[in-house]
């Protein structure tokens, strides 16, 4: 894989396909809705569920940003992020069920 290290070179690709910017805005609105539920949620389980969905949406956003900026390394970042999110959510569920 050839990495392109010129600053902001990847915006050319998003100017070729302006619908990618619309995708990113829609995903960002979804993350904001999840964060609102995470602040408002009545119980701790609501907050954990909202955090779970927000992390999965963020994984998709990272892959899409890696395509736009043409950086192959973003795929590794999203894979590690999804693994850490899975382990963290399982730990939160065990804590909610039995306590530490």
Partner 1 sequence: MDIFGMIITGIGVVFLFLGSLGIFRMPDVYNRVQAGTKCSTLGCFLTIVGVGIMQPEWFWKTLIIAVFVLISNPVSSHALGRASRKKGISLCDKSVTDKTKEFKGYKE
One of 4, 9, 11, 46 touching partner 1 (CB under 8 A): 46
26 or 100: whose CB is closer to partner 1?
26
Give the 3-state secondary structure percentages of the chain, helix then strand then coil, rounded to 5.
80, 0, 20
Residues 70, 95: Cα–Cα separation, whole Å: 40
From residue 73, alpha-carbon distances to 14, 15, 30 in Å are: 18, 22, 24
User: For the residues of 34-64, what is the DSSP string, one character each?
Assistant: HHHHHHH-SSHHHHHHHHHHHHHHHHHHHHH
37 binds partner 1 (CB under 8 A): yes
- The distance of closest approach from Cβ of residue 8 to partner 1 in the complex, given in angstroms and rounded to an integer, is 19
Q: Please report how close the Cβ of residue 7 comes to partner 1 at its closest, in angstroms.
A: 21
8 lies in the site for partner 1, by CB under 8 A:
no
Which spans of this chain sit near partner 1 (rule: CB under 8 A)?
1, 17, 19, 23, 26-27, 29-31, 33-34, 36-37, 43, 45-46, 48-50, 52-54, 56-57, 59-60, 63-64, 66-67, 72, 75, 78-79, 82-83, 85-86, 89-90, 92-94, 96-97
């Amino acid at each position: 894989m050839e990495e392109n290290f010129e600053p902001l070179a990847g915006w050319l690709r998003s100017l070729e396909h302006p619908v990618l910017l619309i995708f990113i805005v829609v995903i960002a609105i979804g993350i904001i809705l999840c964060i609102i539920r995470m602040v408002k949620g009545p119980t701790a389980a609501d907050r954990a569920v909202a955090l779970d969905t927000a992390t999965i949406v963020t994984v998709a956003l990272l892959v899409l940003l890696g395509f736009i900026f043409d950086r192959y390394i973003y795929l590794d970042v999203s894979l590690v992020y999804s693994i850490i999110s899975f382990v963290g959510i399982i730990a939160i569920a065990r804590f909610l069920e039995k306590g530490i």
